[in-house]
Amino acid sequence: MKKTFKQIILIFILQFIIINIAFAATTVRSTHTLDGAADPVFSSTTLVYKSKEYICDSSVALDPDYWAANLMTDDYPMPWADIAQYITEAHSAQGFIDLFVHVDMTPIVKLAVGVVPTCYVYGDPDDRSKHDLVASVDGALYDMIDTDCKGVWDTSIISGAMNSNQYIVFRFAVPSWVPKSYRVFLGQSNLKPARSSLSYSDRYVVKVYTPILSTGPYACPDILVPRRYKSEYNPSNRAYDVPKMTRSVTKNVPVTFDASKSTDTSGASITKYEWDLDGDGIYDLEGMNPVYTFRSTGTYTINLKITTSDNKVSIASGTVNASNLIPLPLTITVVEAPAFCTLYQNAPNPFITSKSAYTTFNYDIKENAFVTLKIYTASGELVKTLVDESRLGGLYSVSWDGTNEDGKKVASGVYIYNLKAGSSKDTKIMAVVK
């Protein structure tokens, strides 16, 4: 039976209502990942970055129009944007910064009835590829640490799609000092607009916000070596395992803890420091810099509780998942004493620069020493100096982006990298492939 004009109009209206109800009812994998926003310009946040506009060229407009969606999908919406000016002592103390990533899909031309622009959010693969979510912090790599957002880049990490009134939270690690440079990279196609007859737009803009932190105390547990963020490379699947905030210390060697980076943004003074060395809720040590010796190897979660002069408390016992703003604890791995210096194989190796943005070098030094780590050509010509400074004994990581001292990409070939710590040396080779 033929449908009347009124019936056709009614069907369109019903489709529009059903689609909007579906988006309004969309749930996510966990409560923190996707939150509804009544207004895309979020209250109690600061806009830290705005991408260029991806707009349809009217000369190639289609019906429906996918041109703008294709432009955004093929681009890098946040290519190493520096947001260091927005990172405070409180961020450094809590160990992370949350970024609210919102895609403004407000169209230029009114969309057809029933069309609702949406965008899929794909996972962080931790493989240093063009789809990775990562930050370069004062020359070292710091990851997007929320494990709920990890996964294969071309698999959506949220149920359904994100609409114009929603955003996703990415939690990035922050060192315990306020960095001079903090450049964030959002990968290609990690934010991919939907392209269907009922979901498209002729305009997309990526906006990134960070919440304004509340005034008060922030506990920051550490040891007297700068906090470091380390990714473990898994050679079996040629990818990085989920990284952890960790410090490595040596069994039977005294460790000096450090709470000096703790802060209170209200101006109150910190009157008490208490340390829980095994996460059992019982505080084992007191003071800003207590000393302790671990007698057994293993991994320990260290919680720090600080109390201020106005009787406020902060406990560093949070998680990497963006479900709250509790400062992160310190994770310590106790290991056997190494040889005076040990240089580990870089990963990935071979370093294929078209697939990975960086390769990572790990090295271990037993005692305090002046350390250099340099890369040479097979003929002995210096390519890049990665480390040239005094270091305390411990395990360290440093990354290389495949450039020489002049910032130019090196040629494919075999390279030698050499570690010197005091009078001790260690050398390994690697392959670079363009």
Q: What are phi and psi of 149, to 5 degrees?
A: -105, 5
Q: What is the CATH number of the domain that holds 250?
A: 2.60.40.10
- The DSSP secondary-structure symbol of 149 reads G
Residues 182 and 81: beta-carbon distance below 8 Å: no
Domain boundary among 313, 335, 357: 335
Coil, helix or strand for 253?
A: coil
Query: Do both 16 and 109 map to the same domain?
Result: yes
Regarding whether 207 and 270 lie in a shared domain, the answer is no
pLDDT at 10: 45
Q: Are 386 and 392 in contact (CB under 8 A)?
A: no
Question: What b/e readout covers 40-54, taking b as 16+ CB neighbours within 10 angstroms?
Answer: bebeebeebbebeeb
Domain of residue 319: give its range: 217-335
- Residue ranges in the chain modelled with pLDDT below 50: 1-3, 5-40, 226-234, 236-244
> 281 — alpha (psi -120 to 50), left (phi > 0) or beta?
left
Q: Report yes or no: 360 and 127 within 8 Å, Cβ to Cβ.
A: no
Q: What angle do CA 313, 287, 255 make, to 5 degrees?
A: 120
Concatenated DSSP letters for 183-207?
EEEEPTTSEEE--BTTB--SEEEEE
Q: Please state, in angstroms and as integers, the Cα–Cα distance from residue 160 to each residue in 22, 24, 163, 290, following that order.
A: 9, 11, 9, 49
Domain identity same for 165 and 263: no
Half-sphere exposure of 412 (CA within 13 A, CB side): 6
175 shares its domain with 316: no
185 and 276 housed in the same domain: no
Instruction: Indicate if 310 and 394 belong to the same structural domain.
Output: no
Q: What is the CA radius of gyration of the chain?
A: 25
> DSSP assignment of 412-427, as one string?
SEEEEEEEEETTEEEE
Element housing 73 (H / E): helix 67-73
Tell whether 94 and 154 lie within a shared domain.
yes
Distance (Å, whole) CA 382 – CA 8: 73
| Domain final position from 177, 211, 245 | 211
Instruction: Report the DSSP pairing between strands 330-335 and 247-250.
Output: parallel
For 17, phi then psi, to 5°, come to -65, -45
Annotate 294-332 with b (16+ C-beta within 10 A) or e (fewer): beeeeebbbbbbbbbeeeeebbbbbebbbbeebbbbbeb
Parallel, antiparallel, or unpaired: how do β-strands 351-352 and 424-433 relate? parallel
Supply the pTM of this predicted model: 0.70
Specify whether 21 is located in the same domain as 80: yes
Q: What is the pLDDT of residue 321?
A: 87
Name, in order, each residue with C-beta under 8 angstroms of 177's C-beta and a sequence gap of 6 or more: 92, 226, 261
Q: Could you say which of 279, 300, 335 is where a domain stops?
A: 335
Q: Which residues contact 82 (CB under 8 A, 6 or more apart)?
A: 181, 182, 183
Count of helix runs (H) and strand runs (E) in the chain: 3, 36
- The confidence score (pLDDT) of residue 262 equals 95
List, in sequence order, every beta strand (DSSP E) within 87-133.
Answer: 96-104, 118-121
Specify the residue for token string 């910064």.
97
CATH number of the domain where residue 419 is located: 2.60.40.4070
Rounded to a whole number, what is the largest CA-CA distance in the chain? 91
Residue with tokens 């000369």: 59
Number of domains in the chain: 3
Based on the fold, state whether residues 57 and 164 are members of the same structural domain. Answer: yes
Q: What is the pLDDT of residue 61?
A: 53
Residue positions counted in the chain = 434
What pLDDT score was predicted for residue 426? 93
The SS3 assignment for 5 reads: helix
Residue 304, both tokens = 């720090």
Tell me, yes or no, whether 63 and 205 share the same domain: yes
Q: Are residues 111 and 183 in the same domain?
A: yes
- Are 239 and 204 in the same domain? no
End-to-end Cα, the chain, rounded Å: 63
